[in-house]
Structure 1
């Protein structure tokens, strides 16, 4: 039982869970899968975020979790965004209670995909904020004390993985790191292009991209890619 484990034992337990995930997956995805197993969850996702507004899903345990994670960036609200801003966990044991007034768009969207509880843990070290790890469950109910301690250990491992990747400039787990850097740059480039097309602020440009993604039921990064590759103009005059 993890409830009886000390800190070192819990860390070893988490490492064993990560190591037994499929070896051909990236480290961050293995951490997500380990979170699902350790916390009796149905899904998990890790998003990289920065204070200047760059956001994106970095890894997820499965496609549905990736979709629910991405909802937050398309809609501009959700526990992930709140946890990052507040620098503390946002624990939502019953999304049907919190969702309607706290996240009027994200709540129904997540519940529509079967999510009933969300637990968001910021990934940070000192003053540096790297992102957030979300844990999803298809049933309402809180994490118990042992599960919370295990979740914090998982976030520590995720922070180490992100820092290690940034310090080396590339990912040690295949191309995931390079891919995420590319996604960030692409999103920034798309924001700049939309800003010029519409004559609006960089924040408004992101809001327009989110609105388009939501209306078309697409991921934000897909919209950004279409803008960058000139397949889409949000002023309505597609090239």
Structure 2
């Protein structure tokens, strides 16, 4: 069954959607879109380093994405303006990654596949990594859900409850790094944040509780992946961007539905 590339692509899309959905909700609630952008851009540098060292692309992307996320968290605590810091680090990491790729002699690298994704080229081993990462992220989120939610909604209440918001920020950072590492092959470094944010933003106007928002985000993300693949296959369009386009259309529809519900 897994010999069919469309089945592998479908499973990969659903896996990434399940991993991105719960963390995407926290990204939306915490207004961390640019944080996710910086982390995903850094993954290109991780790809270059992993190819240069002949190691797993997943491991390289994960290590550099995690390093970037930890750097941002550390520097933001030292008085740097967050938006300026993220802007500098995000574009610098992407630029260094692209330059590093140019030094890889004798290595065949389809850079567009890592920038915009190549879900149709997902292998069985890629599928195992994606679903392994998705299961890890879901377990981590379920384990820390209450603490993450409390520290997101009210840091003072979190401190009063014995919860360290900085620790929960670190948990979220690790989760985002894992999502970036597993999604880079499917959706690409430039589109990862879109799949994190858009399904969660779509679910926000439909859900009444944080838990239902996360569930709706997972469902809408999976639907975006399935419909995006179908449209891409039928009209011969790039799969990654097409998935994001479908997610954007779903966001527009959910926003209109939410407004009509309030009227």
* Greater strand fraction, Structure 1 or Structure 2: 1
Give the TM-score taking structure 1 as reference length.
Answer: 0.32
Higher relative contact order (CA 8 A, sep 6+): 2
TM-score, L = length of structure 2: 0.30
Structure number with the higher helix fraction is: 2
